[in-house]
């Protein structure tokens, strides 16, 4: 039964990937088309702006040596300043932005499902 379960799971995941690929290429649309046009919305602009702001802050802090990195392990105190906290925070927000977006979508989906 375990092999059957794994096979079914794999086939369903493969079907989802195939369906997403076919939809992105415009399958089922009138005429001969090779892709589906997606419009760049305000939400996309907002997310791009957030990524640029966080990445710029992180790169600026790193290039101005507000952070430190050693390849070989060393025991020492971490020196915190306002600029290093801003740099680390910007990098953390940039790194966790996809997670925040995923959680937001999960909450939205759960709310929409509860209204059914």
Give the tens place of pLDDT for each residue, 48-95.
999 999 999 999 998 888 887 777 888 877 778 899 899 999 999 999
State how far the Cα of 89 lies from the Cα of 67, in Å rounded to an integer.
11
34 and 87 belong to one structural domain: no
55 and 108 belong to one structural domain: yes
Nearest to 37 by CA among 29, 46, 45: 29
29 and 74 belong to one structural domain: no
Structural domain boundaries enclosing 102: 40-116
25 and 70 belong to one structural domain: no
30 and 48 belong to one structural domain: no
113 and 85 belong to one structural domain: yes
Which has more confidence, 25 or 104? 104
93 and 51 belong to one structural domain: yes
Instruction: Specify the pTM.
Output: 0.57
30 and 73 belong to one structural domain: no
Into how many domains does the chain fold? 2
Angle at 50 between CA 71 and CA 57, to 5 degrees: 40
47 and 102 belong to one structural domain: yes
């Amino acid at each position: 039964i375990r092999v059957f379960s794994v096979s079914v799971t794999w086939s369903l995941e493969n079907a989802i990937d195939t369906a997403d690929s076919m939809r992105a290429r415009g399958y089922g649309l009138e005429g001969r088309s090779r892709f589906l046009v997606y419009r760049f919305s305000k939400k996309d602009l907002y997310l791009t702006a957030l990524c640029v702001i966080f990445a710029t802050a992180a790169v600026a802090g790193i290039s101005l040596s507000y952070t430190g990195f050693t390849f070989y392990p060393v025991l020492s105190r971490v020196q915190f300043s306002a600029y290093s906290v801003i740099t680390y925070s910007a990098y953390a927000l940039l790194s966790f932005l996809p997670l925040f977006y995923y959680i937001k979508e999960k909450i939205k989906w759960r709310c929409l499902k509860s209204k059914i």
